[in-house]
Structure 1
Amino acid sequence: MSTQNISTIRPSEFILIGFPGMGNDQQWLSVPFALLYFLAIAANILIISVVKVEQNLHSPMYQFLSVLSVVDLGLCTTTLPKMLQIFITNQKSITFEGCFVQMFCVHFFSTVESSVLVIMAYDRYVAIYNPLRYTTILTNAFLVKFFSILVLRDFILTGLIPTLASRLPYCASNLISHCYCDHMAVAKLACTNISMNSYYGLFVAFSVLGLDALFITSTYVMILRAVLKLGSKAARLKALNTCGSHLFVILYFYITSFFNFLVYRVGQNIPPQIHITFAVLYLLVPPVLNPLVYAIRTKEIRHAFVKHFLKKQVNSSNEQ
């Protein structure tokens, strides 16, 4: 077969086999995954609704909590409905175009989530180190410009990942050993050298997620230094508890992200079931944990929820 013909080969669809070796046993996975998905949907919609209706929550910190919830909804909805379809109905096919759209959405929402975490970390830094200048530093114009630059960075860098992968010749198998169209899982099906795709994926991982993680880590180190100088022991414990829970979620997101990126390059001996489990939980667990850690544990959001939702239910039940 000539090189010219190979370069034009593209299957009409790919087949997502889910967890290799599990077969019909994958149906049982639909139960915990569906529960986590619906919990993520309900919790994030609740956060968006509370922030929208409560005027006192229209400050930058809470607005970006709402943005984080929108991103989390996109992150899990990009993959979970298709995975549940694979597990429950055994419908494993995905169109060629749909596969690369899903690939883009996974990487784009992941990097945008990282960008939101960067802004939220900077927000907490300014609130602690420059509380008197908080409103003058974090103006709406500055935040919109800062966030727009980060999102533009994410869109351009992640947009090239599926663009390059979609131009590869797929002249062999169309069976993807994964639950969704992960970049390297798809690229490995190409019958050509994929070194450029692999290196570019690593470049995006380290230039976006790596630099963001470094910035967030250094910011939280400075925040913790300020917290440890608080005079009240109770205030220190409360602040450390809050920062500790934030850092746990942040570390989980970045560690699982880098594990997913690096396992294709250096983790050939890792069983595929373990790799795919981490790849799925990396997309599903943060949308569940973020509302719990960042929002529901926040007193102002709990009060707003009681004010706008629980009291309405109580009043309506009293009227009846």
Structure 2
Amino acid sequence: MQRPHRVVSLVLDGALPLDVGIPAEVFHPETGFPYAVSTCGVTAGTVPSHGDFGYAVPRGLDALADADTIVVPGYAPAGRPIPVAVREALRNAASRGARIASICYGAFALADAGLLDGLRATTHWDAAEQLARRHPRITVEPNVLFVDEGAILTSAGAAAGLDLCLHIVRRDLGVGAANEIARGLVTAPYRTGGQAQYLPKSSSAAHGETLAATREWALTRLDKQLTIAGLAAHAKLSPRTFLRRFAEETGSTPLQWILRARVDTARGLLESTTLSVDRIAHEVGLGTGANLRLHFRRLLDVSPSEYRATFSGRS
């Protein structure tokens, strides 16, 4: 029997409660997927939280030595220096090939360990300027939910950590597994990494996702022609206002978002059905198998047949 994929959350002083809880929920073995999740600190014992309680962690930094994935939750205040031993442990883990991810201000720990040099990264928008100023070798992207650089991943604040962890599950086990975990957590199964973190204060739109209903409507009509005029009409907005608000809420254009939704729907069909590539292309509104193959390769760097061979039957 194959051993589970070991996920270890490195809980540092001042850890943010939601950030600590997210990987514990997403990677919990009760989901039925092959993960084992645990926590550690600089040393075993009680780690003070950002609040009036603490976290009991059973192990110290030695737990990172055999972790497959390490998650560093955010901690406050943002940018507080981390112990030298933590930097060394993170660098050692990275050098042996462990995947390392951060949530919110946890990006500062990865940056202090030198793991983000030369890479793109993000953190909570209110600390992005500080991260860029302190670490000029990092390309900081303040307006995205998460950044995937392969073995190193970073996310924005709070709930964006949930998007990142579900993205990791999609990478490991496919869309079906991530969707099942998302249903259990009663959360949206997919928000792209490029989706904006927040609405600019200058926006005339009310704070929140005002176009969520229109996006849900579009997801039920991916096999049909979707136009800016039709989407704007559903949202009861002018096309110009619709385009502006859509970009504010998702970080992309409607057509880019629809293309990604179609490819993701195709991923699910490749995992869970034996439909031909041509048939799936028709079902998701991409027309031909050649068109689906083109976008699959561009967005995922694999062909539909390679994806099906990897993930078929895991849904």
- Which TM-score tier does this pair reach, normalised by the shorter chain? under 0.3
Looking at both structures, which has the greater relative contact order when contacts are Cα pairs under 8 Å and sequence separation is at least 6?
A: 1
State the TM-score, normalizing by the size of structure 1: 0.27
State the TM-score, normalizing by the size of structure 2: 0.27
In terms of fraction of residues, the more helix-rich structure is 1
In terms of fraction of residues, the more strand-rich structure is 2
